Chain A
Amino acid sequence: MNVVRHRALILALISVLAVAACRAPVTTDQLQGVKVENPTPKPEFTLTDTEGSPYDFAEETEGKVALLYFGYTSCPDICPTHMAQIAEVLEQYPQLEREVEVVFVTVDPERDTPERLRQYLDSFHPSFVGLTGTPEELEAAQRAANVPVATFDGEGPDYTVNHAAYVIAYAPDGLSHSIYPFGTRQAQWNNDLRVLAEMG
């Protein structure tokens, strides 16, 4: 009897471990990103998209969930990870694609030509919008979005750029309710994009 109990206990322990290992991501009706205490309105700026056309951020993203990110295509880790994470969620849930506009604003216009920017974004998702402009226009856009203005480190062609490493999410109501730092999981994006889409 003791042996049977002993084995049953081990089996129960294994089952618990199995369940723990296989825990499904929890979706809720609450935002899982970093909440913005006082939601700020969408910034007003117009830059140039990868086709060379003017892109009015507030107007073009009206009524949608807008994910605004300031980055650069030579970024080795944070920018590609953010883009890959969002792209994977959108690919998996095509219904979200219609409700979400991802806008990547380069902070490195010297290296990020429109062609390079387009090629870079297409490697994640063809719907991603790439914007560029003059250094002054880009600085003004960063100030309007209330993010730290990017600075440059190093000499020569391999300089690096210090930039805001988070994605700002604007709900269809035109306000930023949350931001997403590096480390945001796909499960969180999956949850929050749905929650944000309903904040009409």
Chain B
Amino acid sequence: MTTPIKEDRLWQRITVATPYLWLLVFFLLPFAIILRISLADPIIAQPPYSQTISFDNFLFLLSDKMYALTYLKSVLMAAAATVLCLLLGFPMAYGIACSNQATRSLLLLLVVLPFWISFLLRVYAWMGLLNNYGVINNVLIWLGLTDQPIQIMYTDTAIFIGLTYTYLPFMILPLYATLERMDLDLIDAAMDLGASRTTAFWDITWPLARAGVIAGCLLVFIPAMGEYVIPYLLGGPETLLIGRVLFDEFFVNRDWPLASAVAVVLLALLVVPIVFLQKSQAGDAEQAS
């Protein structure tokens, strides 16, 4: 509980103002511009949007079923990947939190290491594993589980695997941070009082880990919603996700206003989870201090 001292605050103002101004110009202002352009019409000119204001783009998005389906599919894919990350990541984070100090840092390092390797290259690695002449099919055939290579590449499953693979560390790290702070004696106490292992988990571990779970899920779900590279490289031409739609509208169709409108709607869908994440982070920070 300290109140800042009243004295020459110039240096404080500069310290706040510099990143603040940068972010206002390079982060916030662009969103205003997207909004403005989403209300324009595409024209053949440089730059390819008009000075008019109309809601045509949004009406089009709302009326065309394809877009609605694409948004829905993106939500479902992101949600599915989030769930799988949680199912895989929670036990892993728990396992790391339960290790002794020496192993723990090595395990954490191993979780983080793939993250430092180019994400593009890691998705590329999956291309090698999943295609018809790839490792997985080779192994399956060699094991005799199948005669023909199974088509995994260019399907939704491939995207699903790619998403889970890429975002797994984002789930593990916040979960680990929360679980590590938890006093594992509490579980012992519960079991001492008669709870079984499972009951102890649901009664004790889960409520305390909830904050980490929420953070992890949002850290996976929000960016996964707008993923472009994974669907492009691992998915087929029919698997359209919203990130790809946005990219194509912009670069292929040169329809900047429509692409902007797609972005605005995507943002609108994400505003709730983003604000939720911010609130939960702030609350978590207060609790920790």
A binds B: no
Chain A residues packing against B (C-beta within 8 Å)? none
